[in-house]
Structure 1
Amino acid sequence: MIRFCLLLWMTFVGSMASAQTLYFSAIPDQDETALVTRFGKVETYLERALGVDVQFVPVKSYPAAITAFRNDQVQLAWFGGLTGVQARLATPGARAIAQGTEDQTFVTYFIANAATGLTPAETFPDLAGRTFTFGARTSTSGRLMPDYWIREETGQSPDDLFARVGFSGDHSQTLRLVASGAWEVGALNYAVYDRAVADGAPEVADTTLLWKTPPYPDYNWTIRGDVDARFGEGFADRVQAALLALDDPEILAAFPRSGFIPAENADYQPIEDTARALDLIE
């Protein structure tokens, strides 16, 4: 009888483990429609590859993505370079496991409203006295790196260089606001702008690509350090393997990335160092 009860309990525990759901999220770097398209397909792919229930959890802001990860509301997340650093610092044992092939050498575009008359330049353009918008406050490509290069190239802070500085919230919104003339100049993720060009987005006709930053490491998939205890030994490695094996052209095009490659925390040390220099993390 005791043996039977023990076997019954072990079966129950095993069924509970297999019934666990892997929750994942992502920084809201584009409009909601683009995010739902991208991550709904990732959700389906991961369920099939891992054999567990997987659910995408949308969030409203970059800080909300970090909080959800830290509080174990999600166990996996698609972060930018800076948000990934912040999430890992707040979650002992968390590690970056994959990045897009293009994320090794990411760049930020500086764009201007066409009516400004500003033209493309090989060196940093003269933007003194213009109005300027970043993306989200904790965006790597929309704030951290453009902020760094503005200071590096001009010797001035954004507040000193520009007549007015704002934060649009995401890259798609930066493009819309600069195209509308609400801001004369803005900085955004190059992939979002290139995708808008490829799609023939009307905003492109009203903007000019001025300058691009030198390359830096950016987006990454980061996983909590306690997933093996929850889903079984080696689960984090299985998630990494599934991401690296993702070759569905439709899913990859939605990022857009040509594929995913291995990543580790050390890859993002330059981002952490820059963030500390700008007092964006303690």
Structure 2
Amino acid sequence: MNHKTFTHLIGRLLTAALLMGAAVSFAQPVFRVTAIPDESPTELARKAAPLMKYLEAKLGTKVEFTPVTDYAAAVEALANRKVDLAWFGGFTFVQAQARSGGKAIPIVQREEDEKFRSVFITSDPAIKQLADLKGKDVSFGSQSSTSGHLMPRSFLLQAGVDPDKDFRRVAYSGAHDATIAAVAGGKVQAGALNISVWEKFVADKRVDPAKVFVFYTTPPYYDYNWTVHADMPAATREKLTQALLALNRNDPAGKEILELQRATRFVPTKADNYKGIEAAAHSAGLL
């Protein structure tokens, strides 16, 4: 083999090696994250962006937020391992646990989720208690929502009010912000939703609490969490858990992420915390 041919061969081998290297770098696995669509898509994307950037730095891999169209799609995405990490409500976690054959593992929840609550709102001064909803048009959020449907329904039943028999009409708005809009717009006389979305709307002056107001706040229950699939490598799960637990309000980046997540901090959680939600789902005939 002459020198020219040898040089040409080495050049081709180097080019092939570089191309293979590029292919390997391009084929880097993407860490996918999703969330139940309990608010508008623009709000979910806004809340997710800084967290995705933070996790990318902590995990050393590309992290992408993958929106889904409805609650059921979020459950399916984790159960079928189309995503690595999912933000669930208590009820969607219970559904994912059932759908995956017990392979959904909740890793952290906000401190607030240990004692989460729902609120019932109205624009009608004559509505003062849950019993006053009889004969009225009332909106829940999504049918799979913990704080926008399951737990409000559970507390209604405990108060002797059966939505399917006692309400004139049961509506499902699909999301907490849509429930506020339905009550404020007079489409329904009352609605049930997540307390943190309500408080955010009041703080941002997006609703006038003199016209639309809370008339009942539920007792506390466990709610939202970040969940992974049991098939995730233990080292990755540990790294991810520690990254979320390390978020701190005293650090500017941590403060921004936690405020967008409406959290003071994340704390460890476990599947047993959601036994009450599971029982409520069974008693309401939703599971």
TM-score when scaled to structure 1?
Answer: 0.87
2:132 — aligned with what? 126
Root-mean-square deviation over aligned CA pairs: 2.0
Out of 141, 158, 177, the residue aligned to residue 172 of structure 1 is 177
Unaligned runs of 5+ in 1: 1-7
Match of 2:206 in 1: 201
Gaps of 5+ in 2: 1-16, 249-253
List aligned pairs for 1:39-188, cutoff 5 A: 39-92=48-101, 93-113=103-123, 116-118=124-126, 124-154=130-160, 156-188=161-193
CA displacement at 1:38 relative to structure 2: 0.7
Deviation of 1:83 (Å): 0.2
2:286 equivalent to 1:277: no
- Quote how far apart the aligned CAs of 1:85 are: 1.1
Distance apart, 1:134 and its partner CA: 0.5
Deviation at 1:202, TM superposition (A): 3.5
CA-to-partner distance for each residue in 1:10-44, whole Å, 9 max, x for gaps? x98xx68x922111100011111210111111111
Q: Deviations over 1:53-75 (max 9, x none)?
A: 11110011101111111121101
Q: Larger deviation: 97-106 or 242-251?
A: 242-251
In structure 2, C-alpha distance between the alignment counterparts of 1:119 and 1:163, rounded to whole Å: 15
Residues in 2 aligned to 1:48 and 1:83: alpha-carbon distance in whole angstroms: 28
What amino acid is aligned across from residue 151 of structure 2 in structure 1? Answer: M
Match of 2:133, SS state, is coil
Residue number in structure 1 paired with 2:221: 216
C-alpha distance in 1 between matches for 2:164 and 2:232 = 43
Alpha carbons 1:142, 1:189 under 8 Å: kept: yes
Structure 2 match to 1:191: 196
State the alpha-carbon separation in 2 of the partners of residues 33 and 43 from structure 1: 15
Contact 1:175–1:203, Cα closer than 8 Å, also in 2: no
The secondary structure found in structure 1 opposite 2:108 is strand
> Is the 1:227–1:236 Cα contact (8 Å) retained in structure 2?
yes
Letter matched to residue 103 of structure 1: D
Give CA-to-partner distance per residue, 1:174-222, whole Å, 9 cap, x none.
0011011001000000000001111111354431110011100000000
Kept after mapping to 2: 8 A contact 1:76/1:222: yes
Residue by residue, what CA displacement relative to the aligned partner does 1:230-271 show, whole Å, maximum 9, x if unpaired? Answer: xxx411111111111122112111121111000011111111
1:260 matches 2:266: yes
Q: Which residue identity is paired with 2:75?
A: I
- In structure 2, C-alpha distance between the alignment counterparts of 1:34 and 1:149, rounded to whole Å: 29
Is the 2:127–2:133 Cα contact (8 Å) retained in structure 1? no
Q: How far apart, in 2, do the equivalents of 1:166 and 1:88 lie?
A: 27
TM-score by length of 2: 0.86
8 A contact 1:111–1:207 mirrored in 2: yes
Paired residues of 1:112 and 1:118 also in contact (CA < 8 A): no
| C-alpha contact 2:31 2:84 (8 A) present in aligned 1 | yes
Deviation at 1:164, TM superposition (A): 0.8
Instruction: Name the SS of the counterpart of 1:234 in structure 2.
Output: helix
Describe the shift of the 1:118–1:32 C-alpha distance in structure 2 as closer, same or farther (beyond 3 A).
farther
Structure 2 CA distance for aligned equivalents of residues 205 and 63 of structure 1:
36
**In terms of Rg, which structure is larger?**
2
> What is the CA–CA distance in structure 1 between the aligned matches of 2:227 and 2:40, rounded to whole Å?
22
2:118/2:217 contact within 8 Å kept: yes
Identity among equivalent positions (%) equals: 37
Q: Contact 1:125/1:211 (CA < 8 Å) preserved in 2? A: no
Q: Provide the rounded CA distance (Å) in 1 between the counterparts of 2:136 and 2:260.
A: 33
Q: Which residue of 1 aligns with 2:241?
A: 240
Partner of residue 4, structure 1? none
